[in-house]
Structure 1
Amino acid sequence: MMDIFESLVALVASNRSGRGPARLCSSSVMSSALEVLTRARRVAVVTGFFIPSAGFPETDGPGGSAALARAVDLSGRESSLWTDTRCLSVVASASRAIEGVVPRAASSGSDILSWNPDLIVYLERLGRAADGGYYNMRGQDVSSTVVPLDDAVLKKPEGVSVIGVGDGGNEAGMGNLRRELGELMPSYGRFLSVVESDIPLPVDVSDWGGYALAGALSLSCGEWCGVDPDEVISMIDAEVAAGAVDGVTLKGDPSVDGFSLDIQRSVAASIRDMIESQLVSPVP
């Protein structure tokens, strides 16, 4: 019988998207990410992926980040939620939909570090490639619209940990996996992020990684602090109403990375069921 981390990986990192990075995930990576989270007291969650051709951010990232930041607070820790000004309205809409943390706009990694976190979680946030540029999954240079919040990794003092959650390899925190990702996606190798983290967590959809970590935090406090299926739908609807587009289809539809609302709801419900089975007190 699979343990909880194997079950979570089978759900959120089964390579359902076919991109490849999720194949590098494992139960040990998932459990290590939770261990780092539970040790932290002040957690900064950073997200926001702006799509120049659409003029708005994508739907992947804000929901998972809002859910994780709220779970950090509910589990007895302190959280902050960060993005840039271009992505702020969409991230704020997602978090407001679940009465979550009010996000802050940063102009550099120094703004994030000024909050004095002991853990930074990058979730679907671009990380620079070897040439210093920032690239989307189509290999297009989008550097002109990227605020380099990944530079917090370069400036952070000793003792600050970093988790990177991504689904394409171009995100901040995925740099540790660059060689393996280059072998999986040879044509995309030069666009991969070189920004490393203590725990890179590759998943099918970055939001799902956030939902999994938010739910898993419940194991540390004995009661549910993750996100519910209806809340996931509310967040996506709010993001689209604020102008967000699906990063795969580039359309303003209520979907994430090409996966429908029904799939988003199913993933969230399965995470809750898995975690609920591990809690002493059943989720009402």
Structure 2
Amino acid sequence: MKDVCESLISLVASDRPGRGPSRLCRWDMLSRALELLSGASRVGVVTGFFIPSAGVPETDGPGGAVALARALLLCGKEVSLWTDSSCFSVVQGASSAIGGPPVSVAVSGPEVLDWGPDLLVYIERLGRAEDGEYYNMRGQAITSTVVPLDEGLLLASQRGIKSISVGDGGNEAGMGKLFEGLSRILPGYGSCLSVVSSDVAIPVDVSDWGGYALAGLLSMESGLWCGVSGEEIRAMIEAEVAEGAVDGVTLLGSPSVDGFPLEDQMAIGEDIRRLTAPV
């Protein structure tokens, strides 16, 4: 397992964007996340990142969340996929594109917990900073447009509900687990980092890729391929763009994610498939 996890890290957490957070990724993070996913019965998956300057959500997050949610369903888990109203059509578009689960809209973190999960997974969802504000990667406070679903993680820890988070910048819910390391890597961004923690935080190059990697690991564990193919990744991204999503780096409505073109997204998916698909 260690060899596979380290190979996955070389694919999804090699600091290709040059931002730095993924340098903190370790193989045991993936291994522990797989342990939690395998042992869970009811999993709530939360995603969606709205970009105020564009007036629409970004393309990163929904694909990885949908891929993982569908994998969990195929493994026999009860799964609920959550976002807020501003991101709903984009997340639903991605899920419909590959036959994933329906999407529920929440207006608060407690609403997610009301469903009764025994595990929460947050993928590319904003988390509050130490001052209570929410910041984008440009260091701009965007609190007024954020639906505070990160409160679900705060309450989960109080109620003994385990949690996993996936992020690529340090401002995402759950990344508070890595606050000290992220503060060293991103000294000029420290005040914007999320302080909301999770039991397992997985820092990757692109958050979607973390979701794809976890779906691949579930395939290895179950002996049944339940991850996503390159073509399914294409279908999800194109569906997101059709619903108005933009690339979070370029702010363009193109079929790309965090500045990486569609071809790169598909290639990552196929590389993960070759590494984790049961023989």
TM-score bucket of the superposed structures, by smaller chain: over 0.9
Alpha-carbon distance in structure 2 between the residues aligned to 1:154 and 1:174: 12
**What residue is the counterpart of 1:144 in the other structure?**
144
Alpha-carbon distance in structure 2 between the residues aligned to 1:90 and 1:194: 27
Normalised by the size of structure 2, how large is the TM-score?
A: 0.98
Pairing of 1:91-110 with structure 2 (within 5 A): 91-110=91-110
Give the letter aligned to residue 85 of structure 1. Answer: S
Alpha-carbon distance in structure 2 between the residues aligned to 1:191 and 1:127: 10
**What residue is the counterpart of 1:86 in the other structure?**
86
Alpha-carbon distance in structure 1 between the residues aligned to 2:209 and 2:53: 25
Alpha-carbon distance in structure 1 between the residues aligned to 2:32 and 2:18: 24
Q: Cα offset for 1:159?
A: 3.0
Structure 2: gaps of 5 or more residues: none
Q: Cα offset for 1:187?
A: 0.6
Alpha-carbon distance in structure 1 between the residues aligned to 2:61 and 2:2: 28
Alpha-carbon distance in structure 2 between the residues aligned to 1:77 and 1:220: 14
**What residue is the counterpart of 2:184 in the other structure?**
183
Aligned length: 278
**What residue is the counterpart of 1:218 in the other structure?**
219
Contact preservation (8 Å) 2:56, 2:246: yes
**What residue is the counterpart of 1:4 in the other structure?**
4
Give the letter aligned to residue 270 of structure 1. Answer: D
Q: Once structures 1 and 2 are overlaid, which stretch shifts more, 242-251 or 29-38?
A: 29-38
Q: Cα offset for 1:204?
A: 0.3
1:241 and 2:242 correspond? yes
Instruction: String of CA shifts for 1:126-175, please: whole Å, max 9, x gaps.
Output: 00000000000000111011000000122225331010100000000000
Give the letter aligned to residue 190 of structure 1. Answer: S
Alpha-carbon distance in structure 2 between the residues aligned to 1:100 and 1:219: 20
**What residue is the counterpart of 2:257 in the other structure?**
256
Q: Cα offset for 1:2?
A: 7.2
Contact preservation (8 Å) 2:63, 2:94: yes
Alpha-carbon distance in structure 1 between the residues aligned to 2:45 and 2:153: 13
1:155 and 2:155 correspond? yes
- Report the 3-state secondary structure (helix = DSSP H, G, I; strand = E; otherwise coil) of the residue aligned with 2:122: strand
**What residue is the counterpart of 2:114 in the other structure?**
114
1:23 and 2:23 correspond? yes
**What residue is the counterpart of 1:230 in the other structure?**
231
Instruction: String of CA shifts for 1:31-54, please: whole Å, max 9, x gaps.
Output: 111111111111100000000011
Give the letter aligned to residue 199 of structure 2. Answer: D
Contact preservation (8 Å) 1:109, 1:151: yes
Alpha-carbon distance in structure 2 between the residues aligned to 1:105 and 1:245: 20
- Report the 3-state secondary structure (helix = DSSP H, G, I; strand = E; otherwise coil) of the residue aligned with 2:259: coil
**What residue is the counterpart of 1:274 in the other structure?**
275
- RMSD between aligned residues: 1.1
Contact preservation (8 Å) 1:81, 1:103: yes
Q: Once structures 1 and 2 are overlaid, which stretch shifts more, 52-61 or 30-39?
A: 30-39
**What residue is the counterpart of 1:198 in the other structure?**
199
Q: 1:114 to 1:273 in 2, by over 3 A?
A: same
Contact preservation (8 Å) 1:246, 1:253: yes
Normalised by the size of structure 1, how large is the TM-score?
A: 0.96
Alpha-carbon distance in structure 1 between the residues aligned to 2:17 and 2:45: 24
- Report the 3-state secondary structure (helix = DSSP H, G, I; strand = E; otherwise coil) of the residue aligned with 1:101: coil
- Aligned-pair identity in percent equals 61
- Report the 3-state secondary structure (helix = DSSP H, G, I; strand = E; otherwise coil) of the residue aligned with 2:256: coil
Alpha-carbon distance in structure 2 between the residues aligned to 1:219 and 1:64: 17
Give the letter aligned to residue 131 of structure 1. Answer: D
